[in-house]
Amino acid sequence: MNTRGGVFAETVLRVSIDAPIHNQNIRDVEVSMAIKFGTDGWRALIGEEYTFENVRICAQGTAADLKEQGVAAKGVRVGYDTRFRSGDVAAAAAEVFAANGIPCFLTDRAAPTPVVSYNLVTHSAGGGVVITASHNPGNYNGYKYKPA
């Protein structure tokens, strides 16, 4: 799966997961809706398309990309904003990276996207993820992937 092309999944995303996720061993996950990355990530309505499970699927795709690019050992920086449950969602994404053996550094409080991006560069991380929907309405949240 290649997240660099702008589209993370077209219609149905199938992900093979060897790591335990949310206390379950999941081998194949099928998503019935499209998870499409736009200019700077994926955004959706909280509780509809934007769910913990879909964020975990995005994180698994990101983990696979970090491994494919050969930068997984450099780790990933994960941050979040003050939207509803963003910290919990960021922790769920971090669990996926850890389950894949990728060093993960999660902010200890809400932080603006530029702070996470700055950390990504200054610590030579393999990539970064920010849980935010930026300028979108409050009933949205999002997943931004920042490649190194």
Helix (H, G, I), strand (E, B) or coil at 86: helix
Which of the following is catalytic: 16, 32, 117, 134? 134
134 is catalytic: yes
Lookup result for tokens 């409050």: 138
List of residues 6+ apart from 52 with CB closer than 8 A: 22, 88, 89, 92
29, burial (CB in 10 Å: exposed 0-12, middle 13-18, buried 19+) = middle
Active site residues: 134
